[in-house]
Amino acid sequence: MSEKQASFYASVERNFEKAASHTGLPKGLLEQIKVCNSIYQMNFPVKIGNSYQVIEAYRVQHSHHRLPTKGGIRFSHLVNQDEVMALASLMTYKCALVDVPFGGAKGGVKVSPRAYNEEQLEKITRRYTVELVRKNFIGPGVDVPAPDYGTGSREMAWILDTYQQLNNGELDSAACVTGKPVNQNGIRGRTEATGRGVFYGLKEMLSNEKDCKEMGLKPGIGGKTMVIQGLGNVGSYTGSISIEEGGAKVIAVSEIEGTIVDENGIDINKLIKYRKSKGTIIGFPGTKKTAKREDWVGLKCDILVPAALESQITKANAKKVKAKIIAEAANGPVTADAEEILLKKGVIIVPDMYLNAGGVTVSYFEWLKNLSHVRYGRIEKRFDERAYSNLVNLVEKMTGKKVGQKERDYLTRGADEVDLVRSGLEETMITAYQQIRDIYKRKKKVNDLRTAAFVNAINKVASDYTTLGIFP
């Protein structure tokens, strides 16, 4: 296990300890909350071409205070036990923060998806699922995986199909995994959910004029400059939604191949298309390449958005940060060592466990949809439309004026699934931020948002344990 990866779990533990001291909870209870309950490491053979390869994989269930446990599955050649433990722990606190009633878990398969074709990836995913079924590490009420780095709806569809083959006739089997394709029991709005949640979180944080003044910022996300590291699912949607709905300006993007800058703003959707056709972001019209890929860390901007992997801002480069806000779209992008330096510099860090909770929040909505066996909006949409229409008719009658067709369509529209998902997500991100802010403002010794978020999450998990009678 390399030192960098070993430090990720240690970093999460360090942040936990820092917050735990502000909770006043008994030591034993804190210890139970902190530890990973179940760690399953597996090795299985998969036939690739003419030979067999032994694949190393994990599923870690961090906390069972609520069931099922929940968390994504990562496909990466860097996967190791320490990393999966850290990510599973973060899932527990994340779910608690946004009142998603799950325990935390995470899976990892040590493969580089680029090294395999689709058929081989399907074999690996299905075999991994069989291993999970065998050990009772998957099921609608047990443990529910989802996409993470290196996986998406395609892999979730394979997981669902494998689970259903082995659990024929199980009524709620579609809820065994989330992040599925919409036509295979998925939910509209899940793909963009993490990025959209990042946007709602930042928007909420920047909506309070007094708070912004204290941070030395103008209120509102509009006009704020952003630098994004990672053009995967989370980075892409964070960027495009912040531009389209918030009026932010993405002035730089960093990817494996390098970092590009354009002070006038980069069109993320065009950049994604460009990268698809050219295989690189370098050379995108209007942009300049920085000398080194790592230069994204030190670019001057309002909001720095690490949206790739953990441990990207470290003791070694934290001093270079010129941003006012670091928005942790990824899990664990700032190490505990780096955080100390950044807080001294006055940088505001919006913590991962809050800011990227949009994914699991919409996963929760998908799980509920699967259990209820009905699409959101199906029951009330037409009823609402008729009621709004009656209201508009009445206003027209009473005023003697006609409402234009465009306005009428807007006023009388009943909510679709995606409208309800977005509304539920926005509500979740606003409520969770206000809770964290409240602790941050109220507790004099809590001086950063991560500690405030941790305190809130730990208290919620603790209260579940105490109400369960485990720690009277």
* Residues taking part in catalysis: 106
Residue 359 interacts with ligand GLU (CB under 6 A): yes or no: yes
CA distances from 207 to 15, 203, 210, 212, 282 (A): 27, 6, 9, 8, 35
- State the virtual CA torsion across 79, 85, 88, 94 in degrees, nearest 10: -110
Q: Which of 36, 55, 57, 72 binds ligand GLU (CB under 6 A)?
A: 72
Helix spans in 46-117 (H): 81-97
Binding characters for ligand GLU, 84-103, by CB under 6 A (x = yes): ----------x---------
Shortest distance, CB of residue 385 to ligand GLU, whole angstroms?
31
Residue 61 interacts with ligand GLU (CB under 6 A): yes or no: no
Q: What is the distance between the alpha carbons of residues 314 and 340, in angstroms, rounded to a whole number?
A: 10
Q: What is the distance between the alpha carbons of residues 307 and 309, in angstroms, rounded to a whole number?
A: 7
Q: Which residue has the tokens 């002070």?
A: 263
**With respect to ligand GLU, which residue has the nearer C-beta, 15 or 363?**
363
Q: What is the distance between the alpha carbons of residues 470 and 17, in angstroms, rounded to a whole number?
A: 21
For residue 148, the one-letter residue type is D
Specify the DSSP element, H or E, that contains 154.
helix 153-166
**With respect to ligand GLU, which residue has the nearer C-beta, 146 or 308?**
146
Q: Mind giving me the DSSP string for 430-442? A: HHHHHHHHHHHHH
Shortest distance, CB of residue 91 to ligand GLU, whole angstroms?
6
What are 210's two structure tokens?
A: 């007094």
Residue nearest ligand GLU by beta-carbon distance = 72
Residue 71 interacts with ligand GLU (CB under 6 A): yes or no: yes
Q: What is the distance between the alpha carbons of residues 354 and 453, in angstroms, rounded to a whole number?
A: 7
Residues 121-160 that bind ligand GLU (CB under 6 A): 146, 148
Q: What is the distance between the alpha carbons of residues 311 and 169, in angstroms, rounded to a whole number?
A: 43
**With respect to ligand GLU, which residue has the nearer C-beta, 197 or 258?**
197
Q: Which of 236, 363, 428, 435 binds ligand GLU (CB under 6 A)?
A: 363
Please give the distance of CA 362 from its chain centroid, rounded to a whole number. Answer: 10
Residues 175-204 that bind ligand GLU (CB under 6 A): 178
Binding characters for ligand GLU, 202-221, by CB under 6 A (x = yes): --------------------
Shortest distance, CB of residue 159 to ligand GLU, whole angstroms?
12
**With respect to ligand GLU, which residue has the nearer C-beta, 60 or 301?**
60
Q: Are strands 38-48 and 348-350 parallel, antiparallel or unpaired?
A: unpaired
Q: What is the distance between the alpha carbons of residues 134 and 163, in angstroms, rounded to a whole number?
A: 10
Total binding residues toward ligand GLU, as defined by CB under 6 A: 12
What are 358's two structure tokens?
A: 């949009």
Residue 259 interacts with ligand GLU (CB under 6 A): yes or no: no
Residue 232 interacts with ligand GLU (CB under 6 A): yes or no: no
Shortest distance, CB of residue 204 to ligand GLU, whole angstroms?
18
**With respect to ligand GLU, which residue has the nearer C-beta, 108 or 246?**
108
